[in-house]
């Protein structure tokens, strides 16, 4: 049996295989509200053959969006827009639907990537970002506003409100975004966190606010549904956040009942130097799994079915998540199943699409027609 197509349990959620569609920002919302682009995108990738689809970084307050086009779940309009999208997914797909909830911190108010991705000043239609410290992401940028006690409470409460809205929508799992230089990662990294209060300085202090957010989200989401987190395992900068600190953070999360760790890296500084290559981050998932004993997800330039199979079969990670590979091949899971001898769920309208050599791909052997 293919290890990639073996079932797995995440708390009360049963998944038929170990493939996840990674959350991928689409930069196409309007005031945080999903639209027809999201309907098409989400419904398409919910039929990829992956057992779980994760909705893109969904922001807990308007000023926490990465770009003006980023998705939000901070008011009734944002919530209402997702209702018909999710209803369509549930009608046609058996994939679980997760949501990544996030706050961009000092990386908010940025232009869309295809518009340059730079900080948008307030007088050009942007807004003043907030952060652990008044330290800009790039030296030439204006400094963000350092969060005070009231700001910390506001954002923590916003994560709770977003989680409750996700629960009302019937979301199956939550992934907190604690990676890629966004707010939770900004608190963890000594590069971006230069506070001198109980939220800065020592590792325990820098971990405090992200752990408070995790505890609040875990308490607000149904107990039988899983909550995971994406972490940046290293900043790829000397003196920054690193794997040793990540492992300590993950141990604290495990004690609080985290259901998976999605092991990514980087994003807190433009000075990072990342050695890109197929599976370049798998080492982090493997180390966290070994040292912490928690379910891990491997991400990062995993594009080939045999590579994904090897990662899971060898115990380097429990699951794999694909992003760009899924955009390029929206039926990646089908093709992986055909190659590895697995089966996937698909709507009956597509059953006759399988090659004659793969009659068991959808678990069907016959298809009658007049």
> pLDDT digits over 124-143, tens only?
999 999 999 999 999 999 99
- Any alpha helices (H) in the chain, and if so which ranges? 36-45, 76-92, 149-168, 183-188, 203-220, 243-255, 282-292, 305-313, 324-328, 332-340
Residue 358 lies in a domain: no
What CATH number is associated with residue 182?
3.20.20.70
Residue 361 lies in a domain: no
Whole-number percent of the chain with pLDDT over 90? 92
Residue 3 lies in a domain: no
Cα(278)–Cα(303) distance, integer angstroms: 8
Asked whether the predicted pLDDT for residue 364 surpasses 60, the reply is no
Residue 370 lies in a domain: no
Cα(294)–Cα(261) distance, integer angstroms: 7
Residue 367 lies in a domain: no
Whole-number percent of the chain with pLDDT over 70? 97
Contacts of 50 (CB under 8 A, 6+ apart): 17, 19, 20, 21, 95, 322, 326, 332, 333
- DSSP string spanning 197-254? STTSSSHHHHHHHHHHHHHHHHHHS-TTS-EEEEEES--SSTTS--HHHHHHHHHHHH
Q: Please indicate whether residue 280 is annotated as part of the active site.
A: no
Residue 2 lies in a domain: no
Cα(136)–Cα(97) distance, integer angstroms: 34
Q: Into how many domains does the chain fold?
A: 1
Whats the size of the chain, residue-wise? 370
Catalytic residue among 27, 74, 182, 209: 182
Cα(340)–Cα(3) distance, integer angstroms: 9
- Contact (CB, 8 A) for 182 and 264: no
Residue 1 lies in a domain: no
- Phi/psi of residue 26, each to 5°? -105, -15
Average of per-residue pLDDT across 47-70: 98
Q: Band the pLDDT of 367: cuts 50, 70, 90.
A: very low
Q: Band the pLDDT of 312: cuts 50, 70, 90.
A: very high
- Contact (CB, 8 A) for 64 and 102: yes
Residue 14 lies in a domain: yes
How far is Cα of residue 357 from the mean position of the Cα atoms in its chain?
Answer: 35
Range of the domain at 57: 8-353
| pTM (two decimals) | 0.95
């Amino acid at each position: 049996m293919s290890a990639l197509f073996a079932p797995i349990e995440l708390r009360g959620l049963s998944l038929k295989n170990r493939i996840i569609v990674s959350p991928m920002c689409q930069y196409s919302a309007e005031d945080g509200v999903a639209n027809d682009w999201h309907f098409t995108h989400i419904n398409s990738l919910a039929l990829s053959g992956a057992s779980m689809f994760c909705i893109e970084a969904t922001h807990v307050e308007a000023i926490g969006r990465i770009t003006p086009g980023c998705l939000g779940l901070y008011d009734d309009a944002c919530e209402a827009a997702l209702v018909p999208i999710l209803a369509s997914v549930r009608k046609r797909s058996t994939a679980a639907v997760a949501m990544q909830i996030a706050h961009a911190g000092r990386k908010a108010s940025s232009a869309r990537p295809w518009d340059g991705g730079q900080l948008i000043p307030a007088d050009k239609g942007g807004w003043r970002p907030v952060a652990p410290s008044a330290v800009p992401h790039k030296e030439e940028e204006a400094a963000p506003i350092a969060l005070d006690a009231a700001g910390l409470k506001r954002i923590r409460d916003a994560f709770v409100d977003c989680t409750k809205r996700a629960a009302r929508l019937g979301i199956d799992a939550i992934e907190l975004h604690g990676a890629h230089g966004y707010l939770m990662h900004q608190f963890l990294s000594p590069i971006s966190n230069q506070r001198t209060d109980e939220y800065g300085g020592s590792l325990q202090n820098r971990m405090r606010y992200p752990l408070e957010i995790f505890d609040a989200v875990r308490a607000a989401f149904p107990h039988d549904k899983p909550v995971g987190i994406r972490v940046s395992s290293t900043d790829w900068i000397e003196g920054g956040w690193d794997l040793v600190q990540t492992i300590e953070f993950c141990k604290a999360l495990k004690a609080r009942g985290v259901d998976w760790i999605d092991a990514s890296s980087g994003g807190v500084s433009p000075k990072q130097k990342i050695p890109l290559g197929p599976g370049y981050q798998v080492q982090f998932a493997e180390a966290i799994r070994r040292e912490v004993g928690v379910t891990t997800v491997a991400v990062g330039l995993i594009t080939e079915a045999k590579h994904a199979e090897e990662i899971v079969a060898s115990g380097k990670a429990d699951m794999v998540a694909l992003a760009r590979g899924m955009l390029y091949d929206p039926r990646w899971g089908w093709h992986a199943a055909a190659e590895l001898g697995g089966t996937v769920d698909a709507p009956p309208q597509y059953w006759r699409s399988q090659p004659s050599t793969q009659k068991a791909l959808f678990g069907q052997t016959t298809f009658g027609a007049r």
